[in-house]
Amino acid sequence: MPTRSAQEWMRTSLRTPGILIFGMVMTPCGWILALTATVSPNWRTLNNLPTEPSSVFLQQGIWDICRATETSQQACNLQDTAYFAQQIIEVAQGLMVASLLVTIIGTIIAIPGVRCWRDSPRWVLAGLGGLLIFLAGVMTIIPVAWYTHILRSIPTSSPSNDVRVGYCIILGFIGGIFEILGGFVMFVGICRCCGGKNRGERRVEEVLGPRAANRTRQQPARRIEVPSLKLSGSRSSASSVPYSKDSLDDDASFPRAKSPAAGSATTYGGRPYDADV
């Protein structure tokens, strides 16, 4: 039954709304993919190295460069001053780390608002967490899309190198899209739309009927006054039921013993008889 402060809408189920479940599932998936794209050194691949066999290629990321083959990885921590001096590398490093941190903060904020054991979720907290997760997804997409756009413009060791897209670009795009979608659908719950379906709510008139809904709204709150009692046993003067001792005596439905008259003597002052001896 809805409370009197919000009787226009009511939740039809105590289950967590679908938009919050969707957001809380997509967010960690996107975060894991973004983390993999951040730490893995494979944003692009350089093949046809001039002084290396054809099976050897370079994997370049935003933190490290590795030399590898199709079967194994040979060496990492290679130096390339021209590559790491590019503006996109510095921007990607900052945005990817910021995206991971903002996603964690947004998830922490959203968790108290998505509690399924409450009568109603805390939509403001869940919406704020969804907004942060959405921004984190945007911060992931920006460096990945920028790097992809200038993939072949970044200097290489030789003009004959065959430049290819690495798997980190694909993981970054997918992770960013997951976070954007999850954060957006969670933020949608901050306002009621689509007839309350986004929140899993329905109008009171649709559930109880118009007459029952109007009767529920118009019914005044019933006030009950409880008489105060004292430990001494005396009746409180603030009692809500007025009565007196005389009214109690008049309303008694059983015979009472008569009290002795006032001033009657307790000693026998008459003349004694033989029967009294």
- Would you list the domain boundaries of the chain? 18-199
Q: Which CATH architecture has domain 18-199?
A: Up-down Bundle (1.20)
Burial class (CB in 10 A: 0-12, 13-18, 19+), 102: buried
**What's the pLDDT at 7?**
44
Q: Whole-number mean pLDDT of the chain?
A: 75
pLDDT tens digits, one per residue of 147-202: 999 988 888 877 778 888 999 999 999 999 999 999 998 888 776 655 455 565 55
**What's the pLDDT at 76?**
86
The stretch 118-131 carries a mean pLDDT of: 82
| Sequence letter at residue 107 | T
Phi, psi (rounded to 5 degrees) for 201: -115, 160
What is the enclosing helix (H) or strand (E) of 101?
A: helix 87-113
Give the tokens for residue 117: 């054991």
Report yes or no: 59 and 41 within 8 Å, Cβ to Cβ: yes
pLDDT tens digits, one per residue of 220-250: 555 666 565 554 544 444 445 555 555 545 5
User: Tokens 């997951």 sit at which residue?
Assistant: 178
pLDDT band of 213, cuts 50, 70, 90: very low
Of the chain, the percentage scoring pLDDT greater than 70 comes to 61
d(CA 227, CA 75): 87
Phi, psi (rounded to 5 degrees) for 57: -145, 165
Report yes or no: 147 and 170 within 8 Å, Cβ to Cβ: no
Report yes or no: 166 and 42 within 8 Å, Cβ to Cβ: yes
